[in-house]
Amino acid sequence: MSEILETDSRGIILPCPACDSANRIAFARLGQKGRCGTCKAELPLPALPVEVTSDVDFTNLIAQSPLPVIVDFWAAWCGPCQMMAPEFAKAAAKASGRAVLAKVNTEKLPGISNTQRIQGIPAFICYQGGREVNRTTGFQPAEKLLGWAEVE
């Protein structure tokens, strides 16, 4: 079982728990249950952090998700970011079906950090309906992060 999910330009890639084949949950259908394209088993709602893998994936996720998207801007060299990782995973599990918890590696995707004007990390931005609604920085426990994003 993986500990993180990944995006492509159209959705989140979710392995089927029954047959392990990769299924795409379209960004526009996040929060809805789907069925595995291979074995037809019902797929669980994503409950893991989602690593954004390109600038286009980020743009589409933010624009198309019907759920709020909480983005963690992080880097491997950043100590507080590493401390934050398990809390962010906890938050993703707690908010399953109600919010998407996505991660942007600021070293791999510097263009996104630039357009979002990220200065210190870890930084968190909550997006809804394609727009930024709130941002904060620094380590925080899962409950505090979800409370801040108003995803209780």
- From 18-26, 69-77, 90-98, 114-122, give the range in contact with Zn ion by CB under 5 A: 18-26
Give the C-alpha separation, 80 to 130, whole Å. Answer: 28
Closest CA to 124 of 132, 83, 94: 132
- Structure tokens belonging to residue 121: 């990390």
Is 16 a known active-site residue?
Answer: no
Quote the distance between the C-alpha of residue 52 and its chain's center: 7
Is 81 a known active-site residue?
Answer: yes
- From 13-21, 49-57, 81-89, 128-136, give the range in contact with Zn ion by CB under 5 A: 13-21
Selecting among 16, 36, 81, 126, the annotated active-site residue is: 81
Q: Which of residues 21-80 bind Zn ion (CB under 5 A)?
A: 36, 38-39, 41
Give the C-alpha separation, 143 to 30, whole Å. Answer: 22
Using CB under 5 A as the criterion, which residues of the chain lie in contact with Zn ion when the complex forms? Answer: 16, 18-19, 36, 38-39, 41
Catalytic residue list: 78, 81
